[in-house]
Amino acid sequence: MSNSIAIRLALVGLIISQSGCAARSQPCICTGAQAAAVVQPAPCPAVEPEYAAEDFGDDDDVRAEETPRYAIPVTAGQPSQGPEDALVTLVVFNDFQCPFCARAQPTVARLLREHPGELRVVFRHFPLPFHPHAMPAAEAAMEAFAQGGHAKFWELHDLVFDNQALLTRDMLDQWAAQVGLDMSRYRAAMDGRTHQAAVEADAALAAQFGANGTPNFFMNGIQITGAQPYEVFEERFVAERAHAQRLVRAGTPRSQVYAEVTRDGLTQPAAPQPSAYAPTPRPQPDPSAVYRVPLDGPLPQRGPDDALVTVVMFSDFQCPFCKRVEPTVTRILDTYGRDVRVVWMNNPLGFHTNAMPAAIAAQEAFEQGGDAMFWALHALLFEHQTELERANIEAYAQQVGMNMTQLRAALDSDEHGALITSQQQLAQGLGASGTPSFFINGRNVRGAVPFEYFQTVIDEELVKARSLVARGTRRARVYEVTIRNGHTSQQMLPGTADAAPAAPGAPTRVEVSVPRNAPSRGSARAPVVIQVFSDFQCPFCARVGPTMDQLLAGYAGRVRLVWRDLPLPFHPNARPAAEAAREVFRQGGHAKFWEYHTLLFENQRNLTRETLERLAAQVGGIDMQEFRQALDSGRHRAAVDADAAVAQAAGINGTPGFVINGEYVSGAQPYEVFEAAVNRALEQRDGGR
C-alpha cells in the first residue's frame, strides 16, 4: 500500500470513528459525522456544553502547567504571518471548505491585529475527505506559496475563505489569476499534483497529534479545538506570552522560545484526558434517523405536491439565521425543479417578541390568498426583519393586497395561535427546538447551512425516492411512504465510551438571596426561582436565552427567572450595557427590561454607547434625556457592582451562572441539565410540605 493511500485510509478511519458535532453540544468544528449527514453551524438557540462558561477566576500559570503541550514542528516550509521570533506561535490546521474554519478567520486576524510582533500564525493543511474541494484548494494555496511566498499564500487564502460557498476548480483558477500567479506553472502544478504530498503530510501530522477535526489550533503547543470565541484564544495568549517573557528574562533568545516551550512536548495525543478546551462528547442526534413529520391540513408550500423530496422548514420571521438561509432555500428549488418541494411550518421563539404576530399575519395571508399571498408577505417580513412591529406588519400586509379588517381581527384574536403552537410542539417533540430546522424526507438538518450541505442529503433521498417509484410507488405518495414508520421523538447516538462524562456528584449548593426589586419573568409566586448571573457581551449568555424561554414555557407558573448582573472585566461594553438595562428597567419595568435585554443580545457584537441609546429609543417609552443622564452619572453603577459582589462571594466567577433554589449550575448547559435541577427543586419543595 502506498504511503499516500495509507494516510487517506487512516484519516477516513480516524474521522469516521468520531461521534461528530452538533450545535447543541459541540464546539464549532468539522468532524466525521458530516460525511454521513451534514452537521451545521449553531442555529438560534445554540447551547454549549460545560466549557461554555466564561471564567476569570483561573490561575493562568497553573492552568498552563496542567494542560498537555504538544511538540508541533514548525519549519520554513509552512506559510506564516508574524515574525519568526514571536513570543507566541499559533499553528492552525485548516480545511478551506470547512465553514467553521471560515468562521474562525476573523478571530485569528484579530489576534494578529491586537498583538503585533508578539504572535506568529503558522498554517497547516487538513482537508477532510468529505469536502471534495478542500484538497484542490490546499494544493492551489501551496502553489501560491511556491510562487510568491507568504504574501501570495495569504492573499489566495483570504480569497478562498471569503468566497467559500463558490469553491470549485474553475473559481480556484480565477482566484489564482487574480492574485497574479503564473498560470502556466499553476496549471502544471494542479494537474501534476505537485503539492499533494506536502498537503497529505500536514494531514498526517494532524492525525498524529489528535487533531480530529477542523479547525484545530496549537498555541505554543497547547491545543484549542474548534472555532471558539475570541476570549478563549486571548486568555491562552496572555498566559503563553507571560510564560515566554519569563523564558526570555531567564536568557532564552526570542527566536528560540517556541523550540524551548515545546522541547518536552507530546508527540501523540495525551491519554486519557482531552485538550483543556476540547469538550467531552455527549450523545448526538442521529443524522440518519427518519422522523415522522405529518403534513396535516393545507400548509404554505413551494414546489409540486408530487415532489420526490419534501423539505419541511421550521422557521421564525425574526430569527437572523432563518433570513440567512432563505437564498439557499430558493437555490434548492431552482436546482431541483419539480423533484423538491418546501413546506413551511412556524416555530416563533419566545425571545423574539415580534415573531408570533408575524407568524399569525403570514398564516392569515395563506388563508386569504393561498401560497402566492403567503410567500409574498413572507418575503416582505424577512426583508424588514428588524421592523416587525404591529403597524409595520399591517403595512406589509396591505402591500400584498390582504383584507385588512380580517387581518386585524386575526391579530387581535390570536386566530391562528393554536395552529402555530401545535407546529411549535411538533418541532420540539422532534428535538428541533431551534430555528431554522429542516426535515428532508424526515431527516433533520439544523441551522443556516450552505447549499452543499442540503445537497448531500437531498441527493441521497432522491436515490431512495426514485427506487420507490421504480417499485411502483406513485410520486405523490413517496413522502407518506418514506416517513410512515418514522420516529416521533429525537433519536440520539451515544458519545464514545472512553470519553463519556463522569457520573456527576451531588449538586453544588450556594446561598444567594433573591433581591426584592430585580428584573424577572414568570409568576412572582413560582416555587422555583432561577437567578441568572449574566453579561450582555458574553456569547454563552446569549446562547442560553432560548433554553430559559423553554424552561419558562414548560414550567409556566412554577418557575421565575431573575436577572443578576455580572459584567466580566475583559468585556469592555458589558458594564455600560448592564447600567443601560437597569435604567430601562427603572423607567419601564419588567416588560421593557426584557425587551431591551433581547435587543442587547441580538446586537451583542456592537454594544457601543450609540447602540445602547438607539436600542433604548427602539424599545419606546423611555425618556432619553434621563437615560443619557443615568449613563453619564453612573446612576446604576453601585447596583451592578453589588450583584457582581454577591456572585463572587458565592464563588460564581464566570458567566452565565445560575442559582436554582440554591443549586448552582455553571455555563450554557443543555436544556436537560436545567430541567433536572428544576425538577429536584420542585421535589424538595413538595417533600417539605
Q: Are residues 551 and 514 in the same domain?
A: yes
Beta strand pairing status for 663-666 and 508-509? antiparallel
**Residue 515, domain member (yes or no):** yes
Residue 336 is predicted with a pLDDT of: 96
Q: Are residues 196 and 103 in the same domain?
A: yes
**Residue 615, domain member (yes or no):** yes
CB contact at 8 A, 551 and 559: yes
* Lowest model confidence (mean pLDDT) among 65-74, 132-141, 326-335, 454-463: 65-74
Residue 271 is predicted with a pLDDT of: 53
What is the extent of the structural domain holding 679? 508-687
Instruction: Tell me, letter by letter, the H, E, C secondary structure of 270-336.
Output: CCCCCCCCCCCCCCEECCCCCECCCCCCCCCEECCCCCCEEEEEEECCCCHHHHHHHHHHHHHHHHH
Q: Are residues 370 and 238 in the same domain?
A: no
Q: Is the pLDDT of residue 216 over 70?
A: yes
Q: What is the mean pLDDT of residues 468-484?
A: 95
What is the chain's mean pLDDT, rounded? 84
Q: What is the mean pLDDT of residues 587-610?
A: 94
Work out the pLDDT band at 59, boundaries 50, 70, 90: very low
Sign of the Cα torsion 268, 273, 277, 280 reads: positive
Q: Are residues 589 and 522 in the same domain?
A: yes
Q: What is the mean pLDDT of residues 583-601?
A: 95
Neighbours of 559 (CB within 10 A): 25
Residue 686 is predicted with a pLDDT of: 66
More confident residue, 278 or 447: 447
Q: Is the pLDDT of residue 60 over 70?
A: no
Q: Quick: pLDDT tens for 95-135.
A: 999 888 988 999 999 999 999 999 999 999 999 877 888 99
Contacts of 653 (CB under 8 A, 6+ apart): 55, 56, 57, 647
**Residue 71, domain member (yes or no):** yes
Q: Is the pLDDT of residue 497 over 50?
A: no
State the Cα torsion 650-651-655-661 to the nearest 10°.
Answer: -40
**Residue 291, domain member (yes or no):** no
Q: What is the mean pLDDT of residues 259-281?
A: 65
**Residue 26, domain member (yes or no):** no
Q: Quick: pLDDT tens for 228-266.
A: 888 889 989 999 999 999 999 999 999 999 999 998 888
**Residue 367, domain member (yes or no):** yes
* Lowest model confidence (mean pLDDT) among 2-11, 72-81, 240-249, 664-673: 2-11
Read off the pTM. 0.42
Q: Are residues 241 and 335 in the same domain?
A: no
User: How many domains are there within the chain?
Assistant: 3
The whole-angstrom separation of Cα 275 and Cα 273 is: 7
Residue 61 is predicted with a pLDDT of: 39
Residue 284 is predicted with a pLDDT of: 65
**Residue 231, domain member (yes or no):** yes
Q: Is the pLDDT of residue 161 over 70?
A: yes
Q: Which grid coordinates belong to 65? A: 502547567
Per cent of the chain over pLDDT 90 is 59
Q: Are residues 421 and 383 in the same domain?
A: yes
Q: Is the pLDDT of residue 614 over 90?
A: yes
232: domain CATH number is 3.40.30.10
**Residue 6, domain member (yes or no):** no
Q: Are residues 551 and 587 in the same domain?
A: yes
Closest CA to 652 of 529, 521, 573, 534: 534
Q: Is the pLDDT of residue 15 over 60?
A: no
Residue 594 is predicted with a pLDDT of: 96
Q: Are residues 476 and 520 in the same domain?
A: no
Residue 333 is predicted with a pLDDT of: 96
* Lowest model confidence (mean pLDDT) among 124-128, 322-326, 488-492: 488-492
Residue 270 is predicted with a pLDDT of: 62
Per cent of the chain over pLDDT 70 is 85
The whole-angstrom separation of Cα 51 and Cα 28 is: 13
Q: Is the pLDDT of residue 667 over 90?
A: no
Residue 494 is predicted with a pLDDT of: 63
